[in-house]
Structure 1
Amino acid sequence: MSSPNRVVMTPAARRVLRAAAGLFYERGIHAVGVDLIAAEAGVTKKTLYDRFGSKEQVVVEYLADRDERWRAFAGEFLDAAPPDPSARVLAVFDATLAWVPDHNSKGCAMVNAHAEISDPSHPAHPIIVGQKEWMLALFTGLAGQVDADRADELGRSLVLLHEGALVAYGLGIFPGAIEHAREQARALLTRCAP
C-alpha cells in the first residue's frame, strides 16, 4: 500500500496534531469536528486548513504519528532484549505492557479508528491496515528465529494473542489481559523452541 502524503509540521501544526490526537482517541474521529480541534489547539480554523488541507489529513497525521511512535517504542524494547529469540518475541509484549498505561486506556487506536474508517479509499485506511500488517511481519520475523519451519503459523498465533490482549485490555474484560497473553506466548514459544 502506498503511504499518503504527509504534512510538514510547523509549531501550529504540532499544536493541532496534539489536540486532535487527544480528542480523536478519547471521543472518536467522527465525533470531533475541526472547530473543536482548532479551539483546543489555540489556532483558527483557517490555520488548521492552511496546515492540513482537510480533517482527513489531520486523521492521517494522527494515525501515522501514533504508528511511528509505537514502532520506535517497540524497537527500543527489541534493541534492549537479550539475543535469545523467545526473549525478543516477549519483548514486544513487554513494550505493550509499558505502552498501554499512557497510550491505550481505550484500547488500540488503530482498531478504534478502523471501526470508524473501514473504507479502503480513505487516506488513513492504509495506515491502519499497514500498522497491523507490520505487527504480523514483526511477529513472523521473530517467530522465524524460534522455528523457521513454522514461522508463519507461529507469527499469526502471536499476533492474535497480542491483538486480542489489546482488545481485552481496552474493554476491561478481565484484569491482566496483556500479562496473560504474554504468558500464553511464552508457553507457545517453549513448545516450539528446538
Structure 2
Amino acid sequence: MSASKRDELVQRALKTFYQGGFHAIGMDKLAKETGVSKTAIYKHFRTKEDLILAVLRLRDEQFRNWLMRRVAALAEAPGAQLLAIFDALDEWFRESDFRSCMFIKASSEYQDRAHPIHATAAEHKRLLLIYFTDLARRAGAKAPEALARELLTLKEGAIVLAHLFGPDDAARDARRTAERILQAELPAKG
C-alpha cells in the first residue's frame, strides 16, 4: 500500500471510528466502511490499535490546526482569542456530523492511563493546554497556567454537554463563564 493509500485509509478509518466508536467497529466493518481489505490494512498496521493510534494522531493534527486557525480568524488580541475558542466550538457543535470528541471517546474506551491510546488522547489535551496557556500568557493573565486549565475544563465540559443535549447552549454557556473568569484574571483595559 502506497503512502497516499495509507493516508487515505487512515482518513477513512478516522471517519468510521468517529461515527461508531473504537470497540464497536470491528475489523470486518472497518474493511467494509473504508473499502480496504483486512489483508491490506494489516500490511500497514500490525494491529487495530496501531491503526487507532494513527487515526488519533491525524485527528489531533486536524483539530488543533483547525482550532488555532479559526480562533485567529475570529479575534486578533490574545484575550479575545481565549473567548473565540468557545465561538469556534459553537460552530463545530453545530456541524451535522458532530459526534463529540474523539479523544474523550478514546480515553473512555481505553481507560488504563498507561495504554498508548489513552496516553495519545491525554497528549492531545496537553497540547491544547499548552496553546491555551500561551494565549493566556500573551493576554497578560495573572496565573496563565491556572487560567488555561480552567478554560480547558470549560471546553471539555461544553463538548460533553453538546454531545449529550445538543449544540444549543453548551458553547455559549461556557463562553459566558469564561468571560467572568477572564474579567478577574486579565489586566483591566484602559
Alignment TM class, shorter chain as reference:
0.7 to 0.9
2:51 and 2:150 mapped to 1: Cα distance?
34
Q: Normalised by the size of structure 1, how large is the TM-score?
A: 0.85
Q: 2:99 aligns with which of 93, 101, 106?
A: 106
2:167 and 2:88 mapped to 1: Cα distance?
20
Cα pair distance change 1:121/1:189, threshold 3 Å: closer
Q: Does 1:64 align with 2:57?
A: yes
Q: Is the 8 A contact 2:56 2:120 kept in 1?
A: yes
Q: Does 1:27 align with 2:20?
A: yes
2:76 and 2:127 mapped to 1: Cα distance?
21
Q: 1:115 aligns with which of 108, 113, 129?
A: 108
Q: Which residue of 1 aligns with 2:152?
A: 159
Unaligned runs of at least 5 residues, structure 2 = none
Q: What is the identity percentage for the equivalent residue pairs of Structure 1 and Structure 2?
A: 32
Q: 1:36 aligns with which of 29, 32, 38?
A: 29
Query: What residue identity is the alignment partner of 1:140?
Result: T
Q: 1:83 aligns with which of 52, 76, 79?
A: 76
Q: Is the 8 A contact 2:90 2:167 kept in 1?
A: no
2:2 and 2:128 mapped to 1: Cα distance?
27
Q: Give the CA RMSD over aligned residues.
A: 2.3
Q: Which residue of 2 aligns with 1:184?
A: 177
2:65 and 2:146 mapped to 1: Cα distance?
26
Q: Which residue of 2 aligns with 1:131?
A: 124
1:99 and 1:9 mapped to 2: Cα distance?
29
Unaligned runs of at least 5 residues, structure 1 = 1-6
Q: 1:16 aligns with which of 1, 9, 23?
A: 9
Q: Is the 8 A contact 2:142 2:186 kept in 1?
A: no
Identify the range of structure 1 (130-139 vs 148-157) with the bigger mean alpha-carbon deviation.
148-157
2:76 and 2:106 mapped to 1: Cα distance?
35
